[in-house]
Amino acid sequence: MQARIAALFAALIFSSQALAEQVQVAVAANFTAPLQTIAAEFEKDTGHSVVASFGATGQLYAQIQHGAPFEVLLSADASTPAKLDSEGLGVSGSRFTYAIGSLVLWSATPGYLDGSDAALKANQYRHLAIADPKTAPYGLAATQVLDKLGLTEAVQGKLVTGQSIAKALHFIATGNAELGFVALSQVYQDGQLSSGSAWIVPAELHSPIKQDALILKQGERNPAAAAFMDYMKGEKAAAIIKSYGYQL
């Protein structure tokens, strides 16, 4: 009897493992920390696992076009998933907005920023970091802010441009730039800054950073891809996303 129960138990374990799948997710760099938290909860709750690749949205788009084996895209904008959809590289009807991002001017030095744009306008810094506006939506938003504030020409010689928003953050965190524009989610969690000082940029100073998700053609038949997208729409993922300063 005990042998039969043990055999049944082993069969159940084997069956659950057989049903568990991996999903390859291309993730905009600004969403690195939230995705890592969500992925851990997703695996715990579903048995499926996430294999994530992080980068600037424009870089991820180029990789998808060249056949990278991604099955889901979590973009930093709405236009890239829409473009992939129109090009036949996405699963029709799967696209949705999973977060609306916030831009922040951040310095690793406590007190350098006083919650306003005063230090930015004073222009007493040597370097100002941004992400590449050609590939990173947060970098594009940063250039829009500089335009709105009339600072584009004044800071032109001081810009340090990273390939992605993660690289822009690295420039600031290591002191290679005194301040810079990054995603709020990179320096904020549970209602407070993780370090340094900041000015949260008013939303009216740049175009909305609407971040869309899309199941890619390579993930069309992967149940883990569909399960992951469903999970991203659920209450647990929503709570995690909000805790990093995003709006839904």
pLDDT tens sequence across 224-233: 999 999 999 9
Q: What is the pLDDT of residue 84?
A: 98
Q: Which two tokens stand for residue 102?
A: 């916030």
Query: 3-class SS at 200?
Result: strand
Element (H, E) at 22: strand 22-28
Residue 248 domain-assigned?
no
Please calculate the CA angle 239-242-244 and round it to the nearest 5 degrees: 115
Query: 3-class SS at 60?
Result: helix
Q: Please determine, for residue 118, whether its predicted confidence score (pLDDT) is greater than 50.
A: yes
Residue 74 domain-assigned?
yes
**Domains identified in the chain, total number:** 2
How many percent of the chain have pLDDT more than 70? 92
For range 129-157, the mean pLDDT: 97
One domain, residues 78 and 200: no
| Interatomic CA distance for residues 110 and 183, integer angstroms | 18
Q: What is the pLDDT of residue 20?
A: 76
How many percent of the chain have pLDDT more than 90? 90
| CATH number (domain holding residue 179) | 3.40.190.10
| Interatomic CA distance for residues 91 and 86, integer angstroms | 10
pTM of the model: 0.86
Residue 119 domain-assigned?
yes
Least confident of 15-19, 58-62, 76-80, 214-218: 15-19
Selection from 129, 145, 169 nearest residue 31 by Cα = 169
One domain, residues 58 and 92: yes
Q: Which two tokens stand for residue 2?
A: 């005990």
Is residue 96 within 8 Å of residue 53, measured between CB atoms?
Answer: no
Selection from 102, 186, 204, 185 nearest residue 145 by Cα = 204
Q: What is the pLDDT of residue 190?
A: 86
How far CA 42 is from CA of 50, 63, 148, in Å, comes to: 8, 25, 40
Q: Give residue 189's pLDDT band: very low, low, confident or very high (50, 70, 90).
A: confident
Q: What is the pLDDT of residue 19?
A: 59
Domain hosting residue 217, numbered range = 2-100+208-243
Q: Please determine, for residue 15, whether its predicted confidence score (pLDDT) is greater than 70.
A: no
Q: Please determine, for residue 183, whether its predicted confidence score (pLDDT) is greater than 80.
A: yes
Angle, helices 32-46/235-243, rounded to nearest 10 degrees: 160
Q: Please determine, for residue 17, whether its predicted confidence score (pLDDT) is greater than 50.
A: no
Is residue 43 within 8 Å of residue 50, measured between CB atoms?
Answer: yes
Q: What is the pLDDT of residue 6?
A: 44
Q: Which two tokens stand for residue 117?
A: 């744009």
Tokens 């590449």 belong to 132
One domain, residues 146 and 199: yes
Phi first, then psi: what are they for 101, rounded to 5°?
Answer: -85, 160
Selection from 231, 238, 239, 247 nearest residue 25 by Cα = 231
One domain, residues 169 and 219: no
Q: What mean pLDDT, rounded, does the chain reach?
A: 93
Quick one: residue 190, left, alpha or beta (phi over 0 = left, psi -120 to 50 = alpha)? left
Angle, helices 57-65/79-86, rounded to nearest 10 degrees: 10
